[in-house]
Amino acid sequence: MEIKKTQHSKLDTIDPNNSPFGVNISDHMLICEYENGQWGKPVIMPYGGMNYSPALMAIHYGQAIFEGMKAYKDKNNDVFLFRPEKNFERFNKSAERLAMPPITKEIFLEGLYALIDLDRDWVPTKDGSSLYIRPTMFASEEMFSARISNKYTFAIMTSPADSYYDKPLKIKIENHYTRAVSGGVGFTKCAGNYGASFYPTLLANQQGFDQIIWTDSQEHKYFEESGTMNVMVRIGDIIYTPPVSNTILNGVTRDSLVNVARHNKIEVREERIPVDSIVNAYQQGTLKEIFGCGTAVVVNRYSHVGYNDNIMELPTLKDEESYAVLLKKQLVGIQTNELDDPFGWRIKI
């Protein structure tokens, strides 16, 4: 692996501990090109633009995927990644569904470790902050034919990030627009999944909601995802979350929270969640919490849920009563080396 270190660090002008999510890109990026049926040599170089034309096939036909990960710094200034092998595995599942070449573990993981080590000064130390990591791959052949590309670019970029959301959210249960259909690409992190979600989310925003809870495409009767996150519901003392499927992303944070909850002897049921059961639980007073979970936000509680012109106001639980708060504290504690890691998830760089 070739490393070309910048001579002009941007750290003189940017404070990683006060950086809005995804705005400031760190000094370096990893680039690796695929051509003639094989990956070339990865290069870590100063972050910057690349020469592509508007004929780039990724723009026209949507062969573009990505991952979301984070690096953390503890009180001793040691840097850690969290379950990076899960992101590597999911990245290649996305690539397979989009007819893109798999990336090798050497390029993805070893390249990632080298990049984070080089830019370790970009990892924030403020509570709630982290270094967001964005691996991506896109079709880089330039032509108009509607076919599988013969050229691809793999890249990893990073960005210091503050908290994504900082307040409980007001959510709308979507019963018209659809995020994903069976047999489609809903389980992947492909660019089109997100672009298609923006318009329904905009409409929800105009109605006074922060985000959407997506429902199934056939009947709109079952919870699937929440915005760009997985969703969890607490009824009584049981957590429910939709099972992973070909319409639901296999979230690393989701899987981690399920494991942390069960480690705490909290019952978790991975099963379909009917919207009617949520309404009934609310009416009976047993609906305690609904929260989203994902890499960017970790856990975010919801304060209100809109459904068919009605608004359900969720209970305002004290922190010590909330499963969402408990699980987030424990997961973040593992990620930041403040708590023991009984699962072996933390990787020191």
The answer to pTM > 0.85 is: yes
Q: Name the DSSP letter for residue 185.
A: S
CB contact set of 141 (below 8 Å; sequence gap of 6+): 56, 57, 149, 150, 151
Give the Cα separation of 143 and 54 in Å (integer). Answer: 9
If we measure between CA atoms, which residue out of 116, 121, 105 comes closest to residue 347?
A: 116
Provide the pLDDT confidence category of residue 221 given band limits of 50, 70 and 90: very high
Burial class (CB in 10 A: 0-12, 13-18, 19+), 172: buried
If we measure between CA atoms, which residue out of 73, 269, 67 comes closest to residue 157?
A: 67
* pLDDT of 128 strictly over 90: no
Average pLDDT score over the chain:
96
Give the Cα separation of 340 and 219 in Å (integer). Answer: 44
* pLDDT of 34 strictly over 80: yes
Question: Percent of the chain having pLDDT more than 90?
Answer: 95
pLDDT of residue 22: 87
Other Cβ atoms within 10 Å of 243 Cβ, number: 10
pLDDT of residue 163: 76
pLDDT digits 0-9 by tens, 142-192: 999 999 999 999 999 999 998 776 789 999 999 999 999 999 999 999 999
pLDDT of residue 32: 98
